[in-house]
Amino acid sequence: MSTPAWKKKLNKQTHALAKAKRDYEKLFEPDPNYKQVRKAYTWNVQTRQTRHIESVSDGVGHTSKAEPKKYTGDYIVGIATMHKSNLVPVCKDDNPENYATMRRN
């Protein structure tokens, strides 16, 4: 009487899993030929002589308020709306009617 195919397949899978587990454990076992040499390490830590230094600041900023940015040039004439809220600058050499037709096409 022969062994059924399902039992052969199960044995084959079991042996393959066992071999994979052995190979995995072999990766993490220590190497007997490896000699670890420990070096004495000294810490070179520079420490502060005073424990706490008082802060000069009182926590409030001492800078002046920034001036608002405003365009003072003469190249940009205005702003056109293209589609939904897409604002586009209109330059001095452009024709604003071009922007109006682009919006409606």
Residue at token pair 């330059």: 91
- The percentage of residues in the chain with a pLDDT greater than 90, rounded to a whole number, is 21
pLDDT tens digits along 43-67:
777 777 777 777 776 666 667 888 8
Task: Name the band, by pLDDT with cuts 50, 70 and 90, for residue 11.
Answer: very high
pLDDT for the residue 73: 85
The DSSP annotation for 2-51 comes to PPPHHHHHHHHHHHHHHHHHHHHHHHHSPPTT---------------SSS
CA dist 23 and 26 (Å) reads 5
Task: Name the band, by pLDDT with cuts 50, 70 and 90, for residue 92.
Answer: confident
pLDDT for the residue 61: 67
